[in-house]
Each structure stands twice: as structure tokens, then as C-alpha cells.
Amino acid sequence: MSIERAAIIGAGMAGLTAALAFARYGIASDIFEEAAELVEVGAGLQISPNASRILGTLGVLPALEAVWTEPEQIALVSGTSLRPIAHVPAGRFARERWEAPYGVLHRSALQKALLAAVLQNPLCRLHLDTPIRGKAHDVLSGSMGQTYPLIVGADGVWSNLRSSVPHAPEPDFSRNVAWRFIIPSAEAPSWLSNHQVTAFLGPSTHLVAYPLKKLDAVNIVAIASGISPGETWDAKATEAQRRMLAEQFHRWDRRIVDLLQKAERPNFWPLHEVTAGRWQNGRDTVLIGDAAHAMMPFAAQGAAMAIEDAFVLANRVAGPLPLAESLAAFESERTARIARVRARGLFNRFVYHARGPIKLGRNIVLSLRPPQSLAADLDWLYGFKAE
């Protein structure tokens, strides 16, 4: 049973994608965002084929292709020696195998493309500086003068709409932080390739680097244990925290240590997950994206899962089932998918952070596997087709 209009709380990637996905089925949406303006913030982002396929269907992909880089491969490299271990082909290979591209870009470029598409769509209305607190139905009916058959919580890891879903997930600090900074391409060392995503693997830590075409820079993300600064996703590093970072990478190749020590104005993002819980209230309210399943970035799928959520939700709601049954089916389908992605992330974390004999075994096993074989392991993830 299709609906005519939905309210979407949050104008991030999940919320904007949901509005465009609903519009494909003739469903109008009001998007409520508490920020007074959508500023260009964030850092680098990997868009894998399972997400780029959806963005292509929504008409957003051409704008991204103009500003992103399609890396030739995803390389695994030793962080202690800078020796290559293995790689998964991307670039043209990704387009041929998974029928969609693999791209890297700045997060703000994706937000800008989604926002432009939303503003151009007559079925989408964006309301900035409009926080939704308390009982969402009552607040919306009072402020908008209308009721909504469906309310979508796309308001992130500290979601306010969770209070409308009994037994909803709860945020939990992972005790890990992501250190993020960029290096101008002209200043980047030669061992930081401009043509690939490179994951440097090390004991209990890892570092990822890839080019940002629009900024003519290299994006650096270093994952290590850390202390949470509170409810924020972006914080400035103190000198004590920078010393902690240096200590965690002190056994790495000296060239990487020097790179981290010379980083100007590094930001760190506390990495939050959410616990298991219900995503919908059985009637008219549903959570998507980080509000439902914020996860660690070890599979580089946070943004992709939000995009998948939005697209699948619209598809199910527009189907023949009553709304309550559609939401239950959505939750069942997506929790199974998210569980598998989480499991892949935990596996990657084990592999990336291995030490001692396990590290030696890892390097031997990975180096003996052909790149196409490693790519085949990702068919279930990158080849996903939401419809």
C-alpha cells in the first residue's frame, strides 16, 4: 500500500537519498534538518558499486563522476615495511564485474550532488533550522499543520527519533578514533599512490590513503584507539592526543611516522557504533542509516549502507503490502544485510591489525591469492542490487 507523503528527519546522506528514492514512486517528502544551513564538512569517502548503482538510478552519479577518482585498485600494504601484500582490482574491472563504478571523493561532494537533486525535485521539500524533538507526530502536526503516515529517522548516531521506537538501538563509543587530514598532492610522498586506495596494515592500527580529485590532495585516515570527546563526530586534536597517536604508530615504517607527526591540524572522529535493537515501531516510524546501525569503518560501508537503506525502504513502502508489514519486511531484510557487513568489518579488523605469527600467515595467504579471487569474495557486497 503506497503512501502519498513521508516526513524525513535529517538531511544527511540517508535522508536526502530517501527523499529522492521516494520521489521515484511519486511519494512526496518533507525533510526536516535542525542545522540552519548544510555546510560542506567531513572528509574523504569511498563509494563502492553497491551504492554507486543506486546513485546512478537516482540520477546523481554523473555529478559525482565529474569530481571523483575511480582508483585502479584497492591495495593492501605493510605499514611496517611499505611492501605490497595484495590488491583487489577496481577501475574498469569494477564497472565490468559489478556493473557499477568504485569512486573516491570528498564527503561534501556527495552531499552537494544529493542536495542539488533534492532541490530540483518538486516532490521534495527541505526545511532547514527545524529540529524535531519529543513526540515527532505531535511536533510535526503542530508545526506543519498536517500528519504523515510515515516518519523516517535519518538523524544519525545520536538520533532523536529513536525515542519513538521501543527497544531501539543505543549509541556506544567504540573506543577507537579516526584521525583525518589531507596532504596537497604536490607535497605527497611518492609511496602514496594517486591511482589507488591504499590500506596500510599494522599491529592494532591501520591507515588508509586515497586521492581527492576536487581538492588535488590525498586523504589520510588513521584508525587507532582513543578517548571520546563526547557527542561530536569532528574534534580538534590536542598535543596530548597527538602524542598518543605517535605512540600507537611508533613501530611503523619511519616514513609513515614522519607523515603523522607533520600533519597540520588533524581532526579526529570518535567512532561510535549502535547496539542491536528495533528499527521500526510496527506502525509508522522507521530508522535508517547511522540512526539504525552505525558501524565501524573497517569495511568502508557506512555511507553505502545508508544509501542502500533509503533505496530499499522506498521500494518496499511503494509495494502492495500494508505499511506496517512493509516496515517489518524492510527491517528483516536490512538487519540480515547489515549483520553480514558488520561481520565482514570485524574480519577486516582482525586481518588489518594482526601481529606476530598471525601477521606472517596473513601476508602469505593474501599474497598467494590472485586479485580476481579476492574480488570474488566481494561479489555479495558490491554486486548487491536493491530492486
- Rounded mean pLDDT, 265-271: 80
Query: Model confidence at 147, in pLDDT bands (50, 70, 90)?
Result: confident
Check residues 221 and 235 and name the one with the higher pLDDT. 221
- Res 246 pLDDT > 80: no
- Judging by DSSP bridges, how do beta strands 150-153 and 5-9 pair with one another? parallel
- Res 1 pLDDT > 60: no
Provide the pLDDT for residue 345: 95
Provide the pLDDT for residue 225: 76
Q: What would the grid cell of residue 37 be? A: 544551513
- Res 277 pLDDT > 90: yes
Least confident of 47-61, 250-264, 294-308: 250-264
The CATH number given to whatever domain includes residue 33 is: 3.50.50.60
The domain of 132 spans 5-70+102-171+275-350
- Rounded mean pLDDT, 96-117: 96
- Rounded mean pLDDT, 255-263: 88
Check residues 80 and 229 and name the one with the higher pLDDT. 80
- Res 36 pLDDT > 90: no
Least confident of 24-33, 81-90, 129-138, 206-215: 129-138
Q: CA 369, CA 56: separation in Å to the nearest integer?
A: 32
Provide the pLDDT for residue 229: 53
Secondary structure, 3-state, 83-112 = CEEEEEECHHHHHHHHCCCCEEEEHHHHHH
Query: Would residue 161 count as lying in a domain?
Result: yes
Provide the pLDDT for residue 234: 52
Total domains present in the chain: 1
Query: Would residue 380 count as lying in a domain?
Result: no
Burial class of residue 67 (count of CB atoms within 10 Å of its CB; 0-12, 13-18, 19+): middle
Query: Would residue 280 count as lying in a domain?
Result: yes
Global confidence as pTM: 0.94
Percent of the chain with pLDDT over 70: 96
Least confident of 139-153, 191-205, 341-355: 139-153
- Rounded mean pLDDT, 193-204: 94
Candidate ranges 256-260, 330-334, 364-368; pick with highest mean pLDDT: 330-334
Provide the pLDDT for residue 165: 94
- Res 143 pLDDT > 80: no
- Res 235 pLDDT > 70: no
Query: Would residue 261 count as lying in a domain?
Result: no
Residue in 18, 88, 98 with CA at minimum distance from that of residue 369: 88
Query: Would residue 192 count as lying in a domain?
Result: no
- Rounded mean pLDDT, 344-371: 93
Query: Would residue 165 count as lying in a domain?
Result: yes
SS3 322: coil
Any alpha helices (H) in the chain, and if so which ranges?
A: 13-24, 49-57, 61-65, 91-98, 107-120, 136-144, 239-248, 254-261, 290-293, 302-317, 323-352, 356-368, 371-376, 379-382
Candidate ranges 39-48, 224-233, 355-364; pick with highest mean pLDDT: 355-364
Q: How far is CA 255 from the centre of its chain?
A: 29
- Res 116 pLDDT > 90: yes
Query: Model confidence at 135, in pLDDT bands (50, 70, 90)?
Result: confident
Query: Model confidence at 245, in pLDDT bands (50, 70, 90)?
Result: confident
Query: Model confidence at 132, in pLDDT bands (50, 70, 90)?
Result: confident
- Res 233 pLDDT > 60: no
CB-based contact 102:5 (threshold 8 Å): no
Query: Would residue 139 count as lying in a domain?
Result: yes
Provide the pLDDT for residue 230: 53
Q: CA 371, CA 375: separation in Å to the nearest integer?
A: 6
- Res 100 pLDDT > 90: yes
Query: Would residue 300 count as lying in a domain?
Result: yes
- Rounded mean pLDDT, 357-376: 94
CA dihedral 73, 79, 82, 88 (to 10 degrees): -20
Provide the pLDDT for residue 236: 64
